[in-house]
C-alpha cells in the first residue's frame, strides 16, 4: 500500500468528494482522521453521509479511520484538532482541505453577510488549517498539503456554468494563491503544497441543492457527471508528493473524461 503508516487529516470529510478522499487514503494504508462540523445527524442516525457513517463503513472494510468534529470557522477548533491529532498519532503527513460552500447569487445582489461567510469558510478556513499543521510538518521535515479548488477561479459565464458563482470563484482564486505562496514558503522544509480541482462531480449535495443545475448539465451535451469515487487516484498521487517531486501546482480533473493534469 502506497501510504502505509502515513497519518492523513481530511477536513470536510463527511460526504461528497471529501468522503471519497477518506476512503481512498485509508485503502492505501494511511491512518485517516476524518473531520467535519458534526459527527452525526440526529434526525437520520443511520445516515452514511456523516462522520459516524463513514467510520462505520470504514470499520466494515477493516480500514483505519478516526473522526473529529471541527468547525473551520473557529480557530480554536482547528488548533485543538491538529494538536490532538499530533498527540494521538505523533505526526501529520498529509492534509486535505475539502471544505467549501458555493451559494449561487447574481453578481450584483451579494450581501455583506453572504460574502463574509464564503470567504470565512473557503479561504480563512484553509489558512487556519495550513497555519496549524505547518509547524508540525516543518519539524518533521516532510508533508503534503492538498487544498481543493475549482476551475471557476479562472473562468466565468457562458458554457462554464459559473456565471452565478462570483463569490465562490474569488474564494477559490484566493485558495490558488495560498497554494503557490505556501509552496514557496515550505519548499526548504520538504513540504509539498498543491491544489486539486475535481470538476463537476455528482454528489448528494449537488443533487439536493441544485437539481435544476444538474438537469441542465445533463442536457447540455457534456456527458455523464462522474461520481466522487473517481477522485481517489489524484488525491493518492498528490498525497505522496514532496517539495522535490511536485509542489505549487493547480491540478484539474478533466470535465470531459477521467484525465487530470497540471494547469497551464
Give the pLDDT mean for 218-245: 78
- Chain-centre distance of CA 237, in angstroms? 14
What pLDDT score does 261 carry? 41
What pLDDT band is residue 53 in, cutting at 50, 70 and 90?
confident
CATH of 7-262, one of 3.40.50.720, 3.30.160.160, 3.30.420.40, 3.20.20.80: 3.40.50.720
Could you tell me which residue, 141 or 257, shows the higher pLDDT?
141
Kindly report the pTM of this predicted structure.
0.86
213 contacts 165 by C-beta, under 8 angstroms: no
pLDDT tens digits, 186-210: 999 999 999 999 876 655 555 555 5
pLDDT tens digits, 87-115: 999 999 999 999 988 787 888 999 999 99
End-to-end CA distance of the chain: 31
**Active site includes 168?**
yes
Strand order in the sheet with 65-69: 65-69, 31-36, 7-11, 94-97, 143-148, 191-197, 250-253, 260-262
Q: Where are the domains of the chain?
A: 7-262
Radius of gyration of the chain (CA): 18
Q: How many CA atoms lie within 13 A of 100 on its CB side?
A: 27
> Which residue among 21, 102, 127, 168 is the active-site one?
168
Give the pLDDT mean for 33-60: 79
d(CA 16, CA 104): 19
Greatest mean pLDDT among 16-20, 59-63, 83-87, 161-165 lies in 83-87
pLDDT tens digits, 120-149: 999 999 999 999 999 999 999 999 999 999
Amino acid at each position: 500500500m502506497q501510504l502505509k503508516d502515513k497519518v492523513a487529516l481530511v477536513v470536510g470529510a463527511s460526504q461528497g468528494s471529501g468522503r471519497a478522499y477518506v476512503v481512498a487514503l485509508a485503502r492505501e494504508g494511511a491512518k485517516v482522521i476524518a473531520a467535519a462540523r458534526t459527527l452525526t445527524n440526529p434526525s437520520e442516525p443511520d445516515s452514511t453521509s456523516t462522520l459516524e457513517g463513514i467510520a462505520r463503513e470504514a470499520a466494515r472494510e477493516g480500514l483505519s479511520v478516526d473522526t473529529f468534529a471541527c468547525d473551520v470557522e473557529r480557530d480554536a477548533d482547528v488548533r485543538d484538532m491538529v494538536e490532538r491529532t499530533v498527540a494521538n498519532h505523533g505526526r501529520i503527513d498529509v492534509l486535505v482541505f475539502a471544505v467549501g460552500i458555493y451559494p449561487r447569487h447574481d453578481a450584483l445582489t451579494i450581501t455583506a453577510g453572504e460574502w463574509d461567510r464564503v470567504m470565512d469558510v473557503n479561504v480563512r478556513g484553509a489558512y487556519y488549517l495550513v497555519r496549524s499543521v505547518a509547524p508540525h510538518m516543518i519539524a518533521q521535515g516532510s508533508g503534503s498539503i492538498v487544498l481543493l479548488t475549482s476551475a471557476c477561479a479562472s473562468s466565468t459565464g457562458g458554457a462554464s456554468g459559473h456565471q452565478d458563482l462570483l463569490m465562490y470563484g474569488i474564494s477559490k482564486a484566493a485558495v490558488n494563491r495560498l497554494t503557490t505562496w505556501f509552496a514557496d514558503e515550505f519548499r526548504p522544509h520538504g513540504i509539498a503544497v498543491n491544489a486539486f480541482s475535481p470538476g463537476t462531480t455528482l454528489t448528494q449535495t449537488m443533487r439536493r441543492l441544485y437539481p435544476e443545475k444538474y438537469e441542465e448539465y445533463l442536457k447540455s451535451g457534456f456527458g455523464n457527471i462522474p461520481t466522487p469515487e473517481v477522485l481517489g487516484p489524484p488525491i493518492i498521487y498528490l498525497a505522496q508528493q514532496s517539495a522535490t517531486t511536485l509542489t505549487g501546482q493547480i491540478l484539474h480533473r478533466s470535465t470531459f473524461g477521467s484525465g487530470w493534469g497540471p494547469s497551464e
